[in-house]
Amino acid sequence: MPFVFYHNPNCSKSCQALQLLEGKGVQLQVRKYLEEPLSLNELTHLLVLLDKKPSELIRQGEGLYKTLGLDQITDANQLIQAMVDNPQLIERPILSNGQQARIGRPPEQVLGII
């Protein structure tokens, strides 16, 4: 299965991770998830591959996080839906090979699954 790189070109860490992967010659499908948001099923599957709770994937420093009152929500399904509805809340970048995934924080973390 090809690698899928969930990318935000406006994020320096995402751009750094993409450069690292391209430098290693990794064949990638780059998905600009702000332009092509993840479905509920896709995000739920990605959380399983990452072995993360929704609270660990959501960008808590994003202004929208507090604006939406997500700091008061503990229900996992509500947090997942918030990320589906507002993809800028998803931590980035993420690399997946369909069987596992890594968040590129720091960017070198994505190299762990190639």
Options 11, 49, 50, 73, the catalytic residue: 11
- 3-class secondary structure, 49: helix
Which amino acid would we find at residue 67?
T
Tokens 């800028």: give the residue: 88
33: its two tokens? 């998830």
Distance CA 58, CA 20 (A): 24
The answer to whether 15 is a known catalytic residue is: no
| Selection from 103, 78, 108 nearest residue 93 by Cα | 103
End-to-end CA distance of the chain: 12
Residues known to be catalytic: 11
